[in-house]
């Protein structure tokens, strides 16, 4: 069963507008972490933001914020004031405990295109 779902294969946003990228997850653990990564066309994976399952406030990092709704098991990424350089693939990931420590599970990604 897919543990991370990103329902938007592709998104378009006008420069300077805000955009929300969806992410839902599935876990029976009480303790877990949620991450968002950006992957430009160069292929590198850039860590953007983190939300812990016990965090009561939504995480924010500059223009990035995470809309965390624990009961709905969703962790949507909000990018404010989009820039052309934000065009990239965006992946939602979850850190989960496994028998031998921890593992990270990734969603299929959303390709964001920022239009001038």
Partner 1 sequence: DGGITQSPKYLFRKEGQNVTLSCEQNLNHDAMYWYRQDPGQGLRLIYYSQIVNDFQKGDIAEGYSVSREKKESFPLTVTSAQKNPTAFYLCASSTTVRRRHHNSPLHFGNGTRLTVT
Interface positions with partner 1 (CB under 8 A): 31, 33, 35, 37, 42-45, 47, 50, 52-55, 91, 93, 95, 98-109, 111
Judged by beta carbon, residue 76 or residue 95, the one nearer partner 1 is 95
3-class DSSP assignment, residue 65: strand
Q: How far is the CB of 16 from partner 1 (least distance, A)?
A: 27
Q: How far is the CB of 19 from partner 1 (least distance, A)?
A: 20
d(CA 92, CA 107): 5
Q: How far is the CB of 73 from partner 1 (least distance, A)?
A: 18
d(CA 111, CA 10): 5
Phi-psi region of 73 (alpha: psi -120 to 50; beta: other; left: phi over 0): left
d(CA 82, CA 103): 31
Judged by beta carbon, residue 99 or residue 116, the one nearer partner 1 is 99
């Amino acid at each position: 069963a897919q543990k991370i779902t990103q329902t938007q294969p592709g998104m378009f946003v006008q420069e300077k507008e805000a955009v929300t990228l969806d992410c839902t997850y599935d876990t029976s653990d009480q303790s877990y972490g949620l991450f968002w990564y950006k992957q430009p066309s160069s292929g590198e994976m850039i860590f953007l933001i983190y939300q812990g399952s016990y965090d009561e406030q939504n995480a924010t990092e500059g223009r990035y914020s995470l809309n965390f709704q624990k009961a709905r098991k969703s962790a949507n990424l909000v990018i404010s004031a989009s820039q052309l350089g934000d065009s990239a693939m965006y992946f939602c990931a979850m850190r989960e405990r496994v028998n031998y420590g921890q593992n990270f599970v990734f969603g299929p990604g959303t390709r964001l295109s920022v239009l001038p």
